[in-house]
Structure 1
Amino acid sequence: MKKMLKTRLALAALATAAVLPAGAAFAEYPEKPVTMYIGFNPGGAVDTTARLIQKNLEEALGVPVIAVQKPGGGGTVMATTMMHAKPDGYTIGMGASAAYVLAPLLNSDIQYTLDGFDHIATVSYPQDALVVKADAPWDTYADLIKDAKENGKSLSLSSQVSVSRLMAIAIEEKEDIKINVVPVKGGSEGIKNVLGGHTDMTWGASGWHAQVKAGEMKPILSLGYKRNEDFTDVPTMHELGIDYAFVDTFMLSAPKGLPADVKAKLEAAVMAAITPELAKELREKMYLTADYRGSVDTLEYLEMQREEVLPFVEKMLAE
């Protein structure tokens, strides 16, 4: 009896497959909602990028994209959580490149490496800069360094992330000056320290633009690989002869092992999602620059960042 039942079930399955159109026996990706982890708290630049692109991704993929906040550790909590998800394309993460490039180098407790993910595409990047108070006695980087050298002055830097600590090491090495790093919990606290006269300068992503436009602060150098679009008169560190640059680029990644067709569909969806209208919103809301790069170019960019910062990471760990 059991053998007869199995035979009937097999025949029924074959009959069903025979009447289905070609390719309908197996649903194509995606057939259900996609979860997008966001590696930072609501309201910031990464979160804003994720929220703005969410609707466009839904339209491109044809399924809902559900945003889930996973903040902590500069994006490392999100990356660690995502690492353990199934690599089927239904779990992706919006994060920043420092979590993949710097965190594994600086923290031995981090369980992943840069190439332990399938990085889908780059979405946007902030306009990083070193900023000082508007009434500070320095209008340029050269003024700042000249004052420090001639007066034997130690400069103070509010630092919320390792990116700016590495920047300080690069400047100290190039100029033979001392920079005292004052740890703070976030970019807004660093700005408050400078405005209150507690530190000379701070590093900022896109949060400093409002203060500059209000006449309260001024940028004196850019940490980018090219000049900031809204402040083209501010030179980059490379232009000033300092062998350091780092832009904490915002990107979508997935667990390692995505099927090739799924990865291609996600990559194409991100490209379609970055419309001129989205680029305009990113610029107007958070001074972010839309910058699509596919999976191959994104991985090459991350590897370039790692190579550039590695000498300074080694010096920082040796301190």
Structure 2
Amino acid sequence: MTATMMKKLALAAVAAGLAFPAVPALAEYPDKPITMYIGFNPGGAVDTTARLIQRNLEKELGVPVVAVQKPGGGGTVMATTLMHDKPDGYTIGMGASAAFVLAPLLNSDIQFELDGFDHIATVSYPQDALVVRADSPWNTYADMIKDAKENDKALSLSSQVSVSRLMAIAIEEKEGVKFNIVPVKGGKAGIQNVLGGHTDLTWGASGWHGQVKAGEMKPILSLGYVRNPDFQDIPTLQELGIDYAFVDTFMLSAPKGLPEDVKAKLSAAVKAALTPELAAELQSKMYLSADYRTPEETLDYLKMQREQVKPFVEKMLAQ
């Protein structure tokens, strides 16, 4: 090959390179900070779950996870905000199942349905209970029902969420007793009402454990599907013959339309983030049980909850 021919080939190669510039490699997800909305105020069970898992998610994903509080409406403000964000994996939200399951059934103004999101993973759930003062004459559910019937007594219930109101409907229907519902803002207010003697009982997902340990309150039943791990002597409502259960489970969700590989990476990161050490922290700080579920399992759980509560929601709306 002559020098002239080699020069022509070299020039042709340069020209080809100019005509077809190199395509830059796509950045691997994630390559920038992720925003995590928290659907409740600081200090509560959902916020505690979010703050504890935040640091482990940063380790697993290799980018900062920036927590942004979006409280209001029992988690519906966060869900509504999340719904309108871009489904690229850079905005996620820590919320509770009641916002996705109950809110659309109870309020026709809610703009979303439970399957209008890509739910990434279930993270934790609380050990809930119906609690009374320690000096209450009721030690069991049977004591409470017997007293109400024999003395024609309405049971006063401090209620901060629809979960406990639906529970009251289920008990009224089965036992023929009456509840007087006293609305309160937050579980702490419900506990204060009971301790102050203003109402007979309240339901709490968290916050009651300290009072029980201090000897100020006692639990008489749980709304869980199984008994509370740390309070095995408390029966569930279903065990007592009442066809109602609801555990306001905490989960991470994203706007609908998340790429499958991004959803899989986020879900795997949550699973890895729920270390035994983190599970122990959740339990010691708020009596929360770590409970990883896949996106599919999380959606199935939400649908199961919706079907179980629907009949009682319809009765409540008809009242």
| TM-score strictly above 0.5 | yes
SS of alignment partner, residue 234 of structure 1: coil
Matches of 1:229 and 1:213, distance apart in 2: 15
SS of alignment partner, residue 289 of structure 1: strand
SS of alignment partner, residue 41 of structure 1: coil
Matches of 2:61 and 2:166, distance apart in 1: 39
Give the greater-gyration-radius structure (CA).
Answer: 2
Equivalent residue, structure 2, for 1:316: 316
The aligned amino acid for 1:307 is E
Matches of 2:165 and 2:16, distance apart in 1: 65
Which stretches of structure 1, 4 residues or longer, exceed 6 Å deviation after superposition? none
SS of alignment partner, residue 16 of structure 1: coil
Shift of 1:14: 3.4
Matches of 1:77 and 1:267, distance apart in 2: 23
1:1-319 alignment to 2 at 5 Å?
11-12=17-18, 14-17=20-23, 25-319=25-319
| CA separation of 1:219 and 1:13: change in aligned 2, threshold 3 A | farther
Matches of 1:124 and 1:315, distance apart in 2: 30
Which whole-Å deviations, capped at 9, do the CAs of 1:36-74 have from their partners, x for residues lacking one?
000000000000000000010011111110000000000
The aligned amino acid for 1:291 is D
Which whole-Å deviations, capped at 9, do the CAs of 1:130-187 have from their partners, x for residues lacking one?
0000000010000000010111111100000000000000010110000000000110
Matches of 1:38 and 1:229, distance apart in 2: 26
Matches of 1:224 and 1:9, distance apart in 2: 71
Matches of 2:17 and 2:106, distance apart in 1: 59
SS of alignment partner, residue 185 of structure 2: coil
The aligned amino acid for 1:182 is V
Shift of 1:206: 1.4
Matches of 2:88 and 2:20, distance apart in 1: 27
SS of alignment partner, residue 132 of structure 2: strand
The aligned amino acid for 2:239 is E
| CA separation of 1:303 and 1:13: change in aligned 2, threshold 3 A | farther
The aligned amino acid for 1:137 is P
Q: Tell me the TM-score normalized by structure 2.
A: 0.94
SS of alignment partner, residue 63 of structure 2: coil
The aligned amino acid for 1:226 is V
Shift of 1:12: 4.4
The aligned amino acid for 1:96 is A
Matches of 1:12 and 1:315, distance apart in 2: 72
| CA separation of 1:13 and 1:186: change in aligned 2, threshold 3 A | farther
| CA separation of 1:10 and 1:82: change in aligned 2, threshold 3 A | farther
Matches of 1:154 and 1:232, distance apart in 2: 28
The aligned amino acid for 2:20 is L
Identical columns (%): 81
SS of alignment partner, residue 181 of structure 1: strand
SS of alignment partner, residue 242 of structure 2: coil
Structure 1: segments with no counterpart, 5+ residues: 1-7, 18-23
SS of alignment partner, residue 266 of structure 1: helix
Which whole-Å deviations, capped at 9, do the CAs of 1:206-226 have from their partners, x for residues lacking one?
110000000000000001000
Matches of 1:91 and 1:260, distance apart in 2: 15
Matches of 2:47 and 2:298, distance apart in 1: 20
Q: Tell me the TM-score normalized by structure 1.
A: 0.94
Matches of 2:52 and 2:279, distance apart in 1: 10
The aligned amino acid for 1:227 is R
Shift of 1:16: 2.9
| CA separation of 1:10 and 1:240: change in aligned 2, threshold 3 A | farther
Matches of 2:204 and 2:285, distance apart in 1: 16
The aligned amino acid for 1:131 is V
Shift of 1:230: 1.0
The aligned amino acid for 1:212 is V
The aligned amino acid for 2:218 is K
Shift of 1:11: 4.9
Superposition RMSD on alpha carbons, in Å? 1.4
Matches of 1:144 and 1:273, distance apart in 2: 42
Matches of 2:203 and 2:118, distance apart in 1: 30
Equivalent residue, structure 2, for 1:21: none
Matches of 1:160 and 1:283, distance apart in 2: 23
Matches of 1:299 and 1:146, distance apart in 2: 39
